Chains A and B, each alone.
Chain A
């Protein structure tokens, strides 16, 4: 491929310079500052902040709740993708459109919406507010689209002749699903699950109203960071931020490595 005319290279260089400046101001410098501040007092101080009882409880809660959410998402996300692709019922297109709602709805509104139904004085007589279950509920709401949207295209492309062969050989529909469909969907399910894990780890807006933020009970990592910032305890906020950041990046990074390998195999 030949390079286009000379002036374009100059323009391209200028463009990249502008991009670099913009990204530095908005993203890179601020993140560098968090990393720098978290280790201001050395690694010992960082470790002390992370293992402070309240911080540790918050991190542990975040991780456990996110894992629960990811497991539920993997199951129900696959089911929903399945009925959107393979099933046919009136209103299917509408349901398909509604899946993205959690991405479009501001997170704080998600919290309010869930409280209106499942909060105190709600019509169903359940009150989840200030419980750990409420955190699971909020996270399920905001991460719903990830697995559905990553499984859906794969399911759509899946060659059905294998399933039909299995069925004609006498396999029941559950066996066909478990032995044929599920192995083919697994990469997509995992990739959707990883994205929802990263999102769940960092989620703040939808959780903050519904969980009550009780230390050691319903205070998740991001809320802990927020409270430390409010109390001017920057080292603690920065240290726990780094842990949350690392957790999300490791999962997303692993996912990238996995998908690249899969891609390489595909070729």
Chain B
């Protein structure tokens, strides 16, 4: 209110020095963003398509590139549902239940944000690798985890764990428990309350979390690089393929695969913005 009354103060645009300062700050901020974010991104699209679509198409339809793409999709298809279900469960446990170890659970949930992907890779290696804690047991039972898809699933699940829970928790807190309690009083059991009351209320937060999880899972590099062994045409995901092409001095291949990932990232960004607007309107 105070701002409303005071906003038409004449000092704002009339004072030329203030106007200059404003323009200066704007230039600094936008200049920084342009040099750091925008120009490099424009550049990679330009570099990729400067010789037309033909070479790009050839590069992205290489068997190894296609395999890497589908492997990345496969990882997303396994990890995202897992982390969505557990993310919602963790959010509900943290917001709706009281139990010993609640603070510990909250701390563990944030760990993946603080841990280097390289450390995640090493950690998985030390448990599921040949010389790891479960290495002997796994190999005598013929289960391959490291250098194969299960290990890559674990690595991806680790790094993308917190998103759904972290997006859902504030919404759960905000909606409160009165509707859930009313449902319970009217005879609904836990599942019915969850499906009919809680889930509809948190759905956009969950979807937003899913988008973030997907982006992270698609792009994970360090952890997956260690546990996958980077075997061409077998355990090479799209980000690993980008590195492989780069190290083989295949500029077209590098840029083409990078642009595919960048387009997926841009799609994520658009989705994030649409969803933010929607959650705000719902709230």
Give me the interface of A with B, judged by CB distance under 8 Å. 1-2, 4-5, 7-8, 11-12, 15-16, 18-19, 22-23, 25-31, 33-34, 36-37, 76, 79-80, 82-83, 87, 89, 95, 97-109, 112-114, 116-118, 122-123, 137, 140-141, 144, 159-161, 164, 167, 172-174, 195, 198-199, 201-205, 208-209, 221-223, 225-226, 229, 234, 237-238, 241, 244-245, 248-249, 252
- With both chains docked as a complex, state the minimum distance between the C-beta of A226 and any C-beta of chain B, in angstroms: 5
Task: Decide if A225 touches B158 in the complex (CB within 8 Å).
Answer: no
Task: Decide if A109 touches B258 in the complex (CB within 8 Å).
Answer: yes
Task: Decide if A244 touches B116 in the complex (CB within 8 Å).
Answer: yes
B261 partner residues in chain A, CB cutoff 8 A: 105-106, 108-109
Chain A, residue nearest B133 (CB) = A33
Task: Decide if A16 touches B99 in the complex (CB within 8 Å).
Answer: yes
What is the number of residues of chain B that contact chain A, defined by CB distance less than 8 Å? 95
Task: Decide if B221 touches A116 in the complex (CB within 8 Å).
Answer: no
Known contacts A87-B26, A164-B9, A222-B222; A7 and B189 CB within 8 A of each other: yes
The total number of A-B Cβ pairs within 8 Å is 268
Interface stretch (choices B57-65, B103-111, B136-144): B103-111
Known contacts A30-B127, A100-B269, A238-B126; A117 and B43 CB within 8 A of each other: yes
A180 CA / B269 CA spacing, docked (Å): 34
Name the residue in A28, A222, A226 with the highest tally of chain B Cβ atoms < 10 Å from its Cβ: A226
Task: Decide if B133 touches A159 in the complex (CB within 8 Å).
Answer: no
- With both chains docked as a complex, state the minimum distance between the C-beta of B197 and any C-beta of chain A, in angstroms: 12
Indicate whether B282 reaches chain A with its CB closer than 8 angstroms: no
- B97-135 near A? 1/0 per residue, CB < 8 Å: 101000001001011111111111111111100011100
Name the residue in A7, A108, A229, A252 with the highest tally of chain B Cβ atoms < 10 Å from its Cβ: A108
Give me the interface of B with A, judged by CB distance under 8 Å. 2-3, 6, 9, 11, 17-18, 21-22, 25-26, 28-30, 32-33, 36-41, 43-44, 47, 82, 86, 89-90, 92-93, 97, 99, 105, 108, 110-127, 131-133, 154, 157-158, 161, 177, 180-181, 184, 189-191, 193, 212, 215, 218-222, 225-226, 238-240, 242-243, 246, 254-255, 258, 261-262, 265-266, 268-270, 272-273
Ranked nearest first, the 3 interchain pairs of A and B with the lowest CB-CB distance are: A106-B219, A202-B116, A30-B123
A241 partner residues in chain B, CB cutoff 8 A: 116, 118-119, 122-123
Chain B, residue nearest A112 (CB) = B258
A202 CA / B47 CA spacing, docked (Å): 30
Find A205's partner among B47, B117, B193, B272 (CB 8 Å cutoff).
B117
Find B226's partner among A106, A122, A167, A229 (CB 8 Å cutoff).
A229
B110 partner residues in chain A, CB cutoff 8 A: 252
Task: Decide if A173 touches B21 in the complex (CB within 8 Å).
Answer: yes
Would you mind naming 20 contact pairs between A and B with Cβ atoms under 8 Å apart? Answer: A5-B190, A7-B189, A12-B190, A19-B105, A28-B108, A106-B239, A107-B221, A107-B222, A108-B240, A109-B219, A109-B239, A109-B258, A112-B242, A117-B44, A160-B6, A202-B119, A205-B117, A205-B222, A229-B121, A229-B122
- With both chains docked as a complex, state the minimum distance between the C-beta of B90 and any C-beta of chain A, in angstroms: 6
A38 CA / B130 CA spacing, docked (Å): 18
Task: Decide if A97 touches B117 in the complex (CB within 8 Å).
Answer: no
Task: Decide if B118 touches A161 in the complex (CB within 8 Å).
Answer: no
Known contacts A4-B184, A141-B37; A108 and B243 CB within 8 A of each other: yes
B2 partner residues in chain A, CB cutoff 8 A: 159-161
Chain A, residue nearest B214 (CB) = A104
B22 partner residues in chain A, CB cutoff 8 A: 87
A209 CA / B25 CA spacing, docked (Å): 33
A237 partner residues in chain B, CB cutoff 8 A: 122
Instruction: With A118-B40, A221-B116 given, name 16 new contacts (CB 8 A).
Output: A19-B86, A29-B127, A30-B154, A99-B33, A105-B265, A108-B258, A109-B262, A113-B41, A113-B262, A144-B36, A161-B3, A167-B9, A205-B239, A229-B226, A237-B122, A252-B114
Task: Decide if A100 touches B116 in the complex (CB within 8 Å).
Answer: no
B114 partner residues in chain A, CB cutoff 8 A: 198, 202, 245, 248-249, 252
Task: Decide if A201 touches B89 in the complex (CB within 8 Å).
Answer: no
B124 partner residues in chain A, CB cutoff 8 A: 30
Task: Decide if B126 touches A87 in the complex (CB within 8 Å).
Answer: no
Task: Decide if B37 touches A4 in the complex (CB within 8 Å).
Answer: no
Task: Decide if B242 touches A80 in the complex (CB within 8 Å).
Answer: no
A16 CA / B37 CA spacing, docked (Å): 42
A104 partner residues in chain B, CB cutoff 8 A: 215, 219, 265-266, 268-269, 272
Task: Decide if B177 touches A1 in the complex (CB within 8 Å).
Answer: yes
Find B32's partner among A31, A80, A102 (CB 8 Å cutoff).
A80
A103 CA / B93 CA spacing, docked (Å): 27
B123 partner residues in chain A, CB cutoff 8 A: 30-31, 33-34, 241
- With both chains docked as a complex, state the minimum distance between the C-beta of A106 and any C-beta of chain B, in angstroms: 3
Known contacts A164-B6, A241-B116; A37 and B126 CB within 8 A of each other: yes
Name the residue in A37, A82, A101, A105 with the highest tally of chain B Cβ atoms < 10 Å from its Cβ: A105
